Structure 1
């Protein structure tokens, strides 16, 4: 399924739930919010995007703790958990997705190779889901797969609530 068709489905599910989405993105650089806002009418179900590429931005804009970044690194489940929660705290949204990863071609390590992407989805009910994926391909491909996974995660949560 393409990002566009997923974004259309996410939009319909958000409208049905009467919720606003918010994104907190690092390695995707706003790709999820771009996919969402490519859909006409998205202002009715999308609140805002935080593109927090640097550690300082994650701290300043989303309230990610410095000690969490130091202990786990930016590409980690604890960091995306705090990003997702911060996105809800600092927006009018009821559901968020946070993404941090290594899109490449550089930056990978044996523990976190290129293609490692951490996700967290959170919502106003207190629910949260965190996962780490390993995507193959070049920088563009990793980012595209991450955008699609982020959208699918939002859609899965909204569908589970119906």
Structure 2
């Protein structure tokens, strides 16, 4: 993944990016801000590792967490939407998952849910089953997938 290309697309479209991360702990924001000049398009990153942080910083509803659990597309949607609401960004990606070790029969290690929110569009969500690759590999795979989601979304938009 060429992060510089992603940032160039955002800059060409005059769009700012926000991230809302749980299991990746800020890895997406770090990958974006590793590139010089990224401050032109990266507004902020939210690391919301606990349910309390998801509620306090992003406005994720307690009811959603209770009904679906933190690792769910419903929570990923609310995280992405909250990142847009609580930032100056027009595009936000969210990640919530089980990096491992551990998991359960119903929510296995390697399950990661993503949200992608963009001003004026319906928020998209998806779940990827990376499998029990080990904590570091799941986190890296989730980071890379989130960056791809951002790049793909920006690639589809008309350049102003």
Normalising by structure 2, we get a TM-score of 0.96
Distance (Å, rounded) in 1 between the aligned partners of 2:78 and 2:134: 28
Q: Secondary structure at the match of 1:99?
A: strand
Alpha-carbon distance, 1:84 to partner: 0.3
Distance (Å, rounded) in 2 between the aligned partners of 1:125 and 1:19: 13
Alignment length (residue pairs): 157
In structure 1, stretches of 5+ residues that fail to align are none
2:129 is equivalent to residue 131 of structure 1:
no
The corresponding residue for 2:58 is 62
The corresponding residue for 1:72 is 68
The corresponding residue for 1:25 is 21
In structure 2, stretches of 5+ residues that fail to align are none
Alpha-carbon distance, 1:111 to partner: 1.4
Taking the TM superposition and a 5 Å limit, the aligned residue runs for 1:32-43 are 32-43=28-39
The corresponding residue for 2:142 is 146
The corresponding residue for 2:90 is 94
The corresponding residue for 1:110 is 105
Q: Secondary structure at the match of 2:77?
A: helix
Match for residue 9 of structure 2 among 2, 13, 17: 13
Alpha-carbon distance, 1:125 to partner: 1.6
The corresponding residue for 2:77 is 81
Distance (Å, rounded) in 2 between the aligned partners of 1:127 and 1:66: 22
Q: Which runs of 4+ in 1 moved over 3 A?
A: none
